[in-house]
């Protein structure tokens, strides 16, 4: 094993032309800026962070709440400015680090609009902090020409390429789901076009829905292998353009399709190097002088990829259908597989006086957030904890909190998701164990 690690570390520090990395830096910065501008213009920032009296932060980060007043707009504009600096390669280390910190905080601050695409953006933000993407075509080089270089270590490309492969692999595996294979979910998503003047008949065709469903599996499973070989690279690029532009038009999923396309840059380093004026890597030596540093970097990369491979599998630690129970759902690349709808209210009982109150989340939150709340057990638990604390502040220190609701997944009949006879206010959250108050359901 030490010999294998040593050989791998040597390969990971071989020089590569950095043209793809530099172009990706520009694309990534511009796409991050575009995403924040879209959040401001389409009301998403206001709806998710400003209007709600509180947000559903990730458990353990409940203290992370939006800034009051116009604070979140200032926050967004600062992120736009930082994204522009990253794109320009200006004060790159500081700007990329601050952008990563701010996007991470925004990501952890609100689960009521969770998206695997945001998780990818979070990972890429931190990638950009550690890679030398400002060594070419950047403001930093114009300020300090000694930074200029046409090369970067191979591990930089491996970081992006392996992460892309993991994302697509699990996206393909996750689609081996009955509702995807039958075309049910695609049919639900296409139903928005049933009154479209030109697309109604095409999108309404079950055969077209099955074509898209199975084409999606094949694309996710094959695109990275095809990008890795020169003979099939342009075929894969053409398929990627068609696939992601179709998704962008049909599903309106923001900047993700263009972000995914920009990741293809790493598979065309030779061609891009020639286009931007490539220099020969002959005689170049990027091996660090300290052997320990090289080995540390290699081991760190291996550990990171092992974690990325393990995270999407953790739902197997819990019984039941992960798309229903949500246990192990996040950070698993389960993209575009379900739609949940539901309704929920909370019953509060004071044990001392036997008084009963009902809390309707619709009185506090936007209906889309209530829909997320109704279908997410962890958010239901968080809301119950919030109610218990609110009543404690009013002097009712011993109340019971029960969640009463029903949920439908992919337009099936409504069923209870949580046990309405269990006092959730006194339950503890178990991140690594199944919560007995979550009721499993078999999809039929």
More confident residue, 285 or 307: 307
Within-domain flag for 325: no
Q: Count how many domains the chain has.
A: 2
The pLDDT confidence band at residue 290, using thresholds 50, 70 and 90, is low
Of 316, 349, 380, the domain-final residue: 316
Q: Tell me, what's the pLDDT at 261?
A: 97
pLDDT of 116 above 90: no
Q: What is the pLDDT of residues 319-348, one digit of tens each?
A: 999 999 999 999 999 988 999 999 999 999
List, in order, residues 6 or more apart from 65 with CB less than 8 Å away. Answer: 54, 55, 57, 109
User: Which tokens belong to 416?
Assistant: 């209870």
pLDDT at 155 (0 to 100): 94
268 and 199 in a common domain: yes
Which pLDDT band, with edges at 50, 70 and 90, does 282 fall under?
very low
pLDDT, one tens digit per residue, over 409-433 is 999 999 999 999 999 999 999 888 9
Residue 312: predicted pLDDT: 95
Say if CB 186 and CB 212 are below 8 A apart. yes
Domain check: are 256 and 368 in the same one? Answer: no
In a domain, residue 167? The reply is yes
Question: Are 276 and 203 contained in the same domain?
Answer: yes
Out of 283, 316, 349, a domain closes at 316
The residue with greater pLDDT, 115 or 135, is 135
φ and ψ at 358, to 5 degrees?
-120, 135
Q: Are residues 353 and 213 in the same domain?
A: no
| DSSP one-letter string for 162-225 | HHHHHHHHHHHHHT-SHHHHTTHHHHHHHGGGTT-TTTHHHHT-HHHHHHHHHHHHHHHHHHHH
Residue 443 above 80 pLDDT? no
Q: What is the pLDDT of residue 58?
A: 95
Pairing of strands 151-153, 356-359: unpaired
Per-residue pLDDT averaged across 400-415, rounded?
Answer: 95
Kindly state whether residues 287 and 360 are assigned to the same domain. Answer: no
Domain shared by 223 and 370, yes or no = no
- Look up residue 306 and give its DSSP letter: H
Question: Based on the domain organization, do 234 and 286 belong to the same domain?
Answer: yes
DSSP category for residue 254 = T
Q: Are 116 and 334 in contact (CB under 8 A)?
A: yes
Q: How far apart are CA 419 and CA 404, in angstroms?
A: 8
Same domain? 163 vs 20 = yes
Distance of alpha carbon 92 from alpha carbon 135, whole angstroms: 10
Mean of pLDDT over the chain: 92
Q: Average pLDDT, stretch 164-172?
A: 97
**Together in a domain, 279 and 351:** no
pLDDT for 7 beyond 90: no
Residues 278 and 343 in one domain: no
Q: Is residue 326 part of a domain?
A: no
Which helix (DSSP H) or strand (DSSP E) does residue 244 occupy?
Answer: helix 230-251
- Work out the pLDDT band at 283, boundaries 50, 70, 90: very low
**Pair 240, 351 in one domain:** no
Answer whether residue 78 is part of any domain.
yes
> Is the pLDDT score of 47 beyond 70?
yes
pLDDT tens, 71-105?
A: 999 999 999 999 999 999 999 999 999 999 999 99
- The answer to the question of residue 321 being in a domain is no
Domain boundary among 281, 316, 351: 316
Position 269 in a domain: yes
| Residue 104 CA to its chain's centroid (Å) | 11
For residue 114, what are the domain limits?
Answer: 2-316
Give Cα 46 to chain centroid, integer Å: 20
Which residues are CB-neighbours of 112 under 8 A, at least 6 positions away? 48, 52, 55, 56, 365, 368, 369, 372, 373, 379
Q: What is the mean pLDDT of residues 252-259?
A: 94
**Inside any domain, residue 333:** no
User: For residue 66, is pLDDT > 60?
Assistant: yes
How many H-runs (helices) and E-runs (strands) does the chain carry?
19, 5
- 0.85 surpassed by pTM: yes
pLDDT band at residue 224 under the 50/70/90 scheme? very high
| pLDDT category of residue 1 using cuts at 50, 70 and 90 | low
Give the pair of three-digit tokens for residue 307. 């974690």
Statement to judge: residues 147 and 250 lie in one domain = yes
CA distances from residue 170 to 185, 331, 332 in whole angstroms, order as listed = 18, 11, 7
Mean pLDDT over residues 223-238, rounded?
Answer: 95
Residue 328 lies in a domain: no
pLDDT at 40: 96
The encoded tokens of residue 205 equal 């065709």
Instruction: State the DSSP string of 93-147.
Output: HHHHHHHHHHHHHHHHH--TT--HHHHHHHHHHHHHHHS-TTSSSSHHHHH-GGG
C-beta separation of 256 from 120 below 8 A: yes
If we measure between CA atoms, which residue out of 159, 398, 376, 161 comes closest to residue 262? 161
């Amino acid at each position: 094993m030490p010999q294998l690690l040593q050989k791998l570390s040597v390969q990971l520090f071989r020089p590569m032309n950095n043209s793809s990395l530099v172009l990706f830096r520009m694309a990534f910065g511009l796409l991050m800026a575009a995403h924040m501008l879209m959040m401001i213009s389409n009301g998403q920032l206001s709806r998710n962070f400003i209007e709600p009296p509180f947000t559903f932060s990730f458990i353990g980060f409940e203290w992370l709440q939006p800034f009051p007043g116009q604070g979140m707009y200032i926050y967004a504009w600062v992120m736009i400015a930082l994204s522009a600096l990253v794109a320009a390669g200006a004060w790159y280390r500081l700007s990329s680090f601050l952008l990563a910190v701010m996007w991470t905080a925004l990501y952890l601050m609100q689960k009521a609009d969770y998206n695997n695409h945001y998780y990818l953006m979070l990972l890429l933000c931190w990638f950009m902090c550690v890679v030398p993407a400002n060594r070419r075509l950047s403001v930093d080089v114009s300020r300090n020409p000694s930074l200029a270089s046409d090369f970067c270590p191979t591990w930089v490309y491996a970081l992006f390429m392996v992460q892309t492969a993991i994302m697509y692999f699990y996206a393909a595996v996750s689609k081996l789901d009955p509702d995807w294979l039958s075309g049910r979910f695609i049919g639900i998503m296409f139903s928005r076009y049933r009154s479209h003047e030109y697309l109604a008949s095409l999108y309404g065709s079950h055969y077209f829905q099955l074509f898209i469903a199975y084409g999606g599996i094949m694309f996710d499973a094959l695109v990275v292998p095809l990008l890795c070989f020169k003979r099939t690279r342009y075929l894969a690029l053409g398929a990627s353009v068609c696939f992601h532009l179709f998704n962008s038009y049909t599903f309106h999923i923001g900047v993700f399709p263009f972000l995914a396309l920009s990741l293809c840059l790493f598979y065309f380093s030779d061609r891009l190097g020639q286009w931007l004026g490539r220099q020969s890597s002959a005689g170049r030596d990027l091996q660090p002088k300290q052997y320990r540093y090289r080995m540390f970097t290699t081991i760190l990369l291996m550990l990171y990829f092992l974690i990325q491979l393990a995270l999407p599998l953790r739902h197997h630690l819990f019984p039941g259908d992960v798309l229903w129970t949500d246990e192990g759902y996040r950070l698993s690349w389960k993209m575009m597989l379900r739609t949940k709808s539901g309704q929920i209210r909370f019953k509060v009982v004071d044990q001392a006086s036997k008084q009963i109150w009902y809390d309707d989340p619709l009185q506090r939150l936007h209906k889309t957030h209530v829909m997320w709340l109704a279908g997410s057990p962890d958010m239901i638990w968080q809301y119950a904890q919030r109610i218990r604390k609110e009543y404690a502040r009013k002097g009712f220190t011993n109340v019971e909190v029960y969640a009463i609701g029903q949920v439908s997944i992919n337009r099936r009949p409504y069923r209870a998701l949580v046990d309405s006879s269990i006092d959730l206010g006194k339950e503890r959250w178990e991140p690594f164990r199944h919560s007995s108050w979550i009721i499993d359901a078999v999809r039929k």
